[in-house]
Amino acid sequence: MLAALVQLGWNEATARQAVGAVESGAQEQGEALSVPELLRASLPWTGEVT
């Protein structure tokens, strides 16, 4: 997942933070996200491409 976000233009730290936030939120709600769902949910957390 991190590699996908990095290849889309975000740095690794931003990608790691976005994925961590989404995974944490999903776990709190007892949800298991698929890879496409995780990527889609992570994009709003990344902000602008740097």
pLDDT for the residue 33: 93
Query: Residue 3 above 50 pLDDT?
Result: yes
Percentage of residues in the chain having pLDDT higher than 70? 94
The one-letter code for the residue type at 25 is G
CA distance 5 to 30: 24
Give the residue-averaged pLDDT of 30-41.
Answer: 92
CA distance 20 to 50: 19
User: Considering the entire predicted model, what is its pTM?
Assistant: 0.75
pLDDT for the residue 47: 74
Q: Cβ distance 42 to 18 under 8 Å? A: yes
Residue 34 φ/ψ, nearest 5 degrees: -75, 170
